[in-house]
Amino acid sequence: MPWFKKTKEITQGRAVSKKVKIPEGLWVKCADCKEIVYKKEFEKNLKVCPKCNYHSRIGVRERINLTADAGSFVELAPELQSCDPLEFTDTISYEQRIKTNQSKAGLKDAVTAGTATINKHPAVIAVMDFSFMGGSMGSAVGEKMARAAEAAIENRLPLVVFTSSGGARMQEGIFSLMQMAKVSAAVGRLKNHPLPYITVLTDPTFGGVSASFAMLGDVIIAEPKSLIGFAGARVIQQTINQQLPDDFQQAEFLLKKGLIDMVVHRRDLKAAIARLIRILMGGPKDTRDKNA
């Protein structure tokens, strides 16, 4: 008999169902397969669904903790944030929307960048957070990404970027679209030195981000089942008037078609990135790396 089954009490000669109170916050629903998962098991598995292997979105701090060695991350330009060049207003002003998202996400903008070590290999890391306005790319995101590339060149370090974005930020108009060229040019200068540029595409990576620096990595990694593309599948299907495969725009589909290089489970990402840095930078063998 399941433990959550309702019990019955006899009240004045009739049976009355008695509801068993289940504490809130014990379970989470997978965004992909919709299965109910025990929260502690879900978090122990790094927020990866044990039923279908869907990698749920995680925030900047979680990503840095999983990737950088403990206490090694030093943030670059922590106070940098977008302004409101167009004085844009939809349901609320853009200025107010930024403040609301800053308060909700605890971040200045949709990307956080800094220097760190990954299994003792020094690197510059930039992490996008979808919880801040859908990870949209505005002028502050572009500037932070450009500064991350400049820091990598100045310190002769590899650049590792985790993307998660719906695309360019409409509230900044052309200023947002300009960031595609700006960041692409900045990471392009890494090749002149030469320094490795590794991108890790997480769910979702779309729009102007996927159309620029996300797809420029020397090595392009993706987390399993991540949705990656430019336009959404529905828009493409309506445009070409053809039925698309069920796994269209998923990381595994893109790997099969040669658009990305690797699909790596979240628990193995740190070791995989460290191994790539060692190989591309010509560093000493890491004794913890079984595949080195």
- 151-177, pLDDT tens digit by residue? 999 999 999 999 999 999 999 999 999
My answer on whether 124 and 182 are in the same domain is yes
pLDDT at 1 over 50: no
Specify whether 142 is located in the same domain as 184.
Answer: yes
Task: Write phi, then psi, for 58 (nearest 5 degrees).
Answer: -125, 160
Overall average pLDDT of the 262-291 stretch: 85
pLDDT in tens, 117-146: 999 999 999 999 999 999 999 999 999 999
* Residue at token pair 């605890």: 106
Domain span at 171:
55-281
pLDDT of the residue at 23: 64
Flag whether 177 is in a domain. Answer: yes
| Cβ(227)–Cβ(166) below 8 Å | no
Same domain, 135 and 50: no
State whether 167 and 270 are in the same domain. yes
Give the integer Cα–Cα distance in Å for 64 and 114: 10
Give the C-alpha separation, 220 to 242, whole Å.
28
99 falls within a domain: yes
- How many structural domains are present in the chain? 2
- DSSP-derived letter for residue 190 is G
> Is the confidence at residue 195, as pLDDT, over 70?
yes
Same domain, 126 and 162: yes
What pLDDT does 246 receive? 87
Query: How much is the average pLDDT of 18-36?
Result: 79
Indicate whether 39 and 65 sit together in one domain: no
Are 108 and 248 within one domain?
yes
Residue 111 and residue 91 share a domain: yes
192 plus 275 within the same structural domain: yes
Residue 227: CATH number of its domain: 3.90.226.10
